[in-house]
Chains A and B, each alone.
Chain A
Amino acid sequence: MVYLFWAQLIFWVILCIYTYDLIRKNQSLNKRLEVIQSSLNTQTAEQVSLENREAKQ
């Protein structure tokens, strides 16, 4: 019974650590992608407004 307990414990701990790591990496990459995309959108919006201002002048 002790061996069964340890086998189960080690199995679930390793599996949970791996799954948690996968989810964490996925979330952090998603955040990084969002940051890059939002900074690109800001840059584009600033460029457009600058162009509009120049056209008006």
Chain B
Amino acid sequence: MRILLGLTFFSMIASIYSVFIYAPTEQIMGHVQRIFYFHMGTVWVATIAFIMVFISSIQYLRKESRRWDKLAYSSAELGVLFITLTIITGSIWAKPVWGTWWTWDPQLTTTFILWILYIVYMILRSAAGDDAKKAKFAAVFGIIAFLDLPLVYISARMMRGISPVVFGPGGGGIAPEMMIALLVTLLAFTLLFIVLLKQRIDIEDLKDRISSIRLEEGI
């Protein structure tokens, strides 16, 4: 764990250096474009988190193991945190570039729906507590909510709105130095996600241990 913490710390420092010093200033947008790196980092981590909710929910329904339930719940919380940061940083980026904080563009709309869906999942799951039936219902909701995730990516490409497409077919692409800064940021955010997820699962483990001792001893 200490090695992982050290790696995360140094990769975050490397990310800050590459974003603010190494990466060149974009010619049209200027310094505001630097928001892009952290914005992409949060999108990346939220995507990993929601994929994990999807896989863990399926596994929980199949095996009924509390381990998968804990992984799904913890991942969802981190997913909500990072998608919230995505919306906030994206909005601050949009103001000087598009002249508005928010617009109901297809990609932004599907992202907003995704955010709401996982907040509902969190409410359902936290209300379920130790009730296995309700936890299973939350797992089913977690699987259905995931269906919106591909829509976020498809909507930017199929229904061209105001959101820029940077990567993939039809994307503008970025300069090699910018790409390096982005990759360093993605690595740093992935490590940060692993550290936070480990901490979050530890909390669920501790709660389980305390409640099992109380049950056994009748405290």
Contacts and interface: CB of A to CB of B under 8 A. Distances in A.
A10 interface: yes
B206 A33 contact: yes
Nearest to A40: B217
Interface residues of A, number: 23
Contacts of B133: none
B70 to A, nearest CB: 14
Contacts, number: 65
A7 B92 contact: yes
Given A36-B213, A36-B219, A40-B217, A4 B31 contact: yes
Nearest to B38: A11
Nearest to A36: B213
A22 B31 contact: no
Contacts of A23: 199
Interface of A: 1, 3-4, 6-8, 10-11, 14-15, 18-19, 22-23, 25-26, 29-30, 32-33, 36-37, 40
